[in-house]
């Protein structure tokens, strides 16, 4: 690894630490808010889904799917940032972290937040998001590393 690549990795890792801190604050607020964060939007989402269904969108595209997909999206950064921080060879740590954090959130909601609903489906969706994020980060890091290797290899 040349000096430029090492410097890029250091900058990327430092940025990942800062983004992780901001993300964790936002995740904590979303996860431990006393009422469901979609409470104000549920009517709008339901209305939008009804319009989509009236225009041919299948019935299986429902509120539960929207919520499941939102939970996947919410945990993509766990996988992405986790892989940047621990390295692509240990991508599975990011997945384990996603599962552990999600389980802790759901347990906290069950025990401390009577207005929230703790479900194993949320743990599944959140862990799936961490998996997708980890895979995406692994692919991106591999592509960048391969590109850098080809750019800095001696000409044949």
What is the distance between the alpha carbons of residues 41 and 31, in angstroms, rounded to a whole number? 16
74 Cβ neighbours under 8 A, 6+ residues apart: 27, 30, 126, 129
pLDDT band, very low/low/confident/very high, at 145 (cuts 50, 70, 90) = confident
What's the pLDDT score for residue 156? 46
Residue range 5-21, pLDDT digits in tens: 788 888 999 999 999 99
What's the pLDDT score for residue 29? 96
- Residue boundaries of the structural domains of the chain: 3-151
Percent of the chain exceeding pLDDT 70 equals 93
């Amino acid at each position: 690894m040349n000096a430029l690549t090492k410097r890029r990795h250091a900058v990327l890792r430092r940025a990942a630490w800062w983004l992780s801190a901001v993300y964790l604050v936002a995740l904590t607020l979303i996860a431990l808010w006393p009422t469901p964060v979609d409470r104000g939007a549920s009517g709008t989402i339901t209305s939008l889904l009804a319009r989509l269904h009236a225009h041919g969108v299948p019935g299986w595209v429902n509120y539960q799917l929207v919520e499941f997909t939102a939970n996947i999206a919410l945990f993509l950064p766990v996988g992405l940032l986790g892989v940047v921080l621990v390295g692509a060879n240990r991508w599975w740590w990011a997945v384990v972290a996603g599962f552990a954090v999600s389980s802790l959130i759901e347990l906290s909601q069950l025990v401390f937040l009577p207005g929230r609903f703790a479900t194993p489906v949320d743990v599944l969706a959140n862990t799936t998001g961490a998996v997708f994020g980890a895979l995406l980060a692994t692919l991106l890091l591999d592509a960048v590393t391969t590109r850098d290797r080809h750019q800095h290899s001696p000409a044949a």
